[in-house]
Amino acid sequence: MSQVASIGGFVKQYQVTIDPNRLLAYNIPITKIMDAIRKSNRDVEGRVIEFSGVEYMVRGRGYIRNISDIENIPLGTSAEGTPLLLKDIARIQLGPEIRRGLAELDGKGEVAGGIVIVRFGENVLSVIDRVKDKIARDINPSLPQGVKIVVTYDRSELIRAAIDTLREEIIKLTVAVSVVCIVFLFHLPSALVVILTLPIAILMSFILMYYMGVTANIMSLSGIAIAIGAMVDASIIMVENAHKKLEEWESQGRQGNQVRPGAVKSRTDVIIDSAVEVGPSLFFALLVITVGFFPVFTLQAQAGRLFKPLAYTKTFAMLFASFLAVTLTPMLMTIFIRGKIRPEERNPISIVLHWLYEPIASAALRFRKTVIFLAVIIMALTAYPYMKLGTEFMPPLYEGTLFYMPVTVPGASISEAARLLQMQDKLIKSIPEVSQVFGKAGRAETATDPAPVEMFETVINLKPEAQWRKGMTVDKLKDELNEKLTIPGVANSFTMPIKARLDMLSTGIRTPVGIKILGADLAVIEKIGLQLEALLKDIPGTRSVYAERSTTGFFLDFRVKRAEAARYGLTVDDVQEVIQSAIGGMNLTTTVEGRERYTVNLRYPRGLRNSIESLNRVLVPLMPGAVGGATGASASSGMGGASSAGGASAIAQVPLGQLADIAIVKGPGGIKSEEGMLTAYVYIDFSGRDVGGYVTEARAKVASLEIPTGYRLVWSGEYEYIIKTHERLKIALPLTAFIIFVLIYFNTRSFTKTAIVLLAVPFSLVGSFWLLYLLHYNMSIAVWVGLIALAGLDAETGVVMLLYLELSYEEWQRKGLLVGRAALREAIMHGAVKRIRPKIMTVSVILAGLVPIMFSHGAGSDVMKRIAAPMVGGVVTSTILELIIYPAIYMIWKGRGLDKEDKG
């Protein structure tokens, strides 16, 4: 824990209220009182003294401990020796220190609070648990009667809910994948080979996560969740291929096979040979999936912080799956694949698959050019849903808590802020779905919170969704709150606590979209902002638009007239010292009362400083001997002076109005700068639209605005993230595609085969974009991560589809049966139809690992759905198109080779 920042309540202060009439009567300058107070509050040390061989440390104890100590501060004595004390010319009382922040709970009134700030890099959940334990064990028992600690924001609930959601999904996916293996293989011991590989790979991933400091969170667990299906693909294909080879081995009387005719082979030899046959291709396929996530590692800033844990865990999982596929899986196969292996022809799943697929494959080979043309048309039609997709940075991660951050006009006093905050909290608490409202105005006592008084931050804790009104959603709830909180001078904005902090830290914009106006003159910047506010408020979907009023700070300026001050021998500092103390109230010293520290403040009574006329009459003392100053009963200024208690010469005092011009002016309440230029923000909150579509329409409308030379607009908020991430992906995606191409080429040793494998990518985009369109999902970084993961899966399924066509072609060639197009067609049909089971198994386990995510519900599920959706749609369409198009393309490619041989 870094610190606990207090917010709200009052801090005790010793307040010394000076009566200027008594100052004049006793002929005492205010500066003398300031010095007397400072000198009456200090401890000193006198080194050491020795008595009877014992050393004593000398201390002079003089700290102020109570009001009486202040009241009895001496200012002088009369001729008779009567002391003049501070209480004779001032009223001393306890009061509150000036405050720049307050807190309110449930619309019932002000409270005091504390904000626990966690150190950077610490485990938040662990810190929260320790804080709760400390409160329950040590703090609660010591609280005074009637005082209790109420938790108003607890992030641990969200963390646990998200982790529980992901944990449940991982268990469901593991079970689903296991069931698919058992159903397709119809041999429990063989299925155990696959089932055992999965938890081992996951466990190894967790071990590496621990040593690399990657915590269990939404993103890191999502990486494992989306990898589960692909992790067992290699094991499934190796087991299925072993089944096929064992069937052939059994049918040949357990003798040799096509690989080594006549050789006597054991069951273990057959299993090893089957693994060697498909192992290299599978290893490269899994390696491609691993490398395919390289673009995610290139993401920076918020996108990088969010998705790198996912990329790490998915990469760990696939690396260990690749390693186990070529080491552990063959060993487990020799142990578990025992007993009677049911032939594929007698497997009910295979029978159905053959019955469905054989006529389709036959028609595809017969009308291959027509099939390819139709596939091109289908891919071209995919442009329609793609063009209709909106864009956003991230899908909304529902945190279970809303964060209300309205924008108000600058200059509100602390009392007005308290009134407005309580009114807002009371309105919010009246919503049935709201369980608790904690409002904060201004800043907490920490350097990490430089908020002005007019900045409100309200945490809205909601009841469980089961207790909501029928049909109520988060967006509807925001709209209802927005209508209820329609208050003149307040622009509403709703977000969520974690998202708000990330947005403000990274861009400074606390709404989904914002505009930064950069220039040299704040007045011109404010004018541009007001023009933008008027232009954008009518765009459909806009909740609120608020341009910062850069020059609406209110100031009471005292401009010292140097020439007049010089006539009285006063410097600017002499005048400003009075302004600082008598008018503003100056903290002169700090008392030390055990572990407590309180300030001592000096100022004039409120009635003598509540108008400019009163301020003009504030007295500035002239020092004895000053030019123009009085040495007798009167001063050159005409001000009368009274004799002091000690009979000293009278001290002249000059009204402040003679030494300074006092005026109320407007100016910047705060100044922002970026890129070396002055800056102001325009905050835009909207609903029911995607960020990209909204900004596109807004930019078109803003294009009509004439921006002066030297000024420019920068679109920020989520839109800034989108642009930065897209720029980075424009470089990373082509580079990754090239690496994948090279890896597949090293495996196939053929440009044609590599191109055929990579056709799976456009095939998959058909399903991805249509499913995203039907689900009304926007293109976000989460969707792009899903598409990147899909590219790796496409390469794997493409390799598997092509692998069996190649194996069948080589078998026909080895047997000398490849003597014409009819034989080629027969070989392709064998490789396509007879080996349909491993292909469908591969796809089925991938889908079994992804489809349950689409039906998940809970914290973190929205992000997972956006990652899984393009993968689900893409795997389905790429599988259908690959099963139909690959045989047709392969027939055309190999058929040309036969034509050349015939001509030869």
| Nearest residue to 509 (alpha-carbon basis) of 479, 548, 472, 539 | 548
Q: Is residue 602 included in any domain, yes or no?
A: no
Which portions of the chain are predicted below pLDDT 70? 253-265, 623-650, 858-860, 897-904
**Rounded CA gap, 853 and 861, in Å?**
7
Q: Is residue 801 included in any domain, yes or no?
A: yes
- What does the pLDDT read at residue 426? 93
- What does the pLDDT read at residue 640? 36
- What does the pLDDT read at residue 897? 65
Q: Tokens in use for 65?
A: 């401990």
| Nearest residue to 374 (alpha-carbon basis) of 766, 895, 757, 893 | 766
Quick check: 598 and 13 in contact, CB under 8 A? yes
Q: Is residue 59 included in any domain, yes or no?
A: no
* Distances from the Cα of 892 to the Cα of 125, 359, 749, 885, angstroms: 60, 19, 19, 11
**Rounded CA gap, 653 and 342, in Å?**
112
Task: For residue 486, give the DSSP letter.
Answer: -
**Rounded CA gap, 246 and 252, in Å?**
10
Residue 393: CB atoms within 10 Å:
24
CATH number at residue 820: 1.20.1640.10
3-class DSSP assignment, residue 537: coil
Q: Where are the beta strands (DSSP E) in 775-839?
A: none
Q: Is residue 658 included in any domain, yes or no?
A: no
Secondary-structure percent of the chain, ordered helix, strand, coil, rounded to 5: 55, 15, 30
Q: Give the pLDDT confidence of 631-651 residue by residue, as tens digits.
A: 433 333 333 333 444 444 567
Identity at 567, one-letter amino acid code: R
List all residues 6 or more positions away from 251 whose beta carbon is below 8 Å from its beta carbon: none
Q: Give the pLDDT confidence of 660-710 residue by residue, as tens digits.
A: 999 988 888 778 888 889 999 998 888 878 888 888 899 999 988 888 888
Q: Is residue 176 included in any domain, yes or no?
A: yes
Q: Is residue 815 included in any domain, yes or no?
A: yes
410-411-413 Cα angle (round to 5): 130
**Rounded CA gap, 545 and 536, in Å?**
7
- What does the pLDDT read at residue 848? 80
- What does the pLDDT read at residue 72? 92
Residue 734: CB atoms within 10 Å:
11
- What does the pLDDT read at residue 259? 47
- What does the pLDDT read at residue 637? 35
| Nearest residue to 184 (alpha-carbon basis) of 340, 351, 335 | 351
Domain count, the chain: 1
412-414-415 Cα angle (round to 5): 100
User: For residue 293, what are the domain limits?
Assistant: 157-257+264-388+750-902
Q: Which residues pair with 593 in a beta bridge?
A: 596
- pTM over 0.85, yes/no: no
Q: Is residue 636 included in any domain, yes or no?
A: no
Q: Is residue 227 included in any domain, yes or no?
A: yes
- What does the pLDDT read at residue 562? 92
DSSP 357-419: HHHHHHHHHHTHHHHHHHHHHHHHHTHHHHHH--B-SS-----SEEEE--EE-TT--HHHHHH
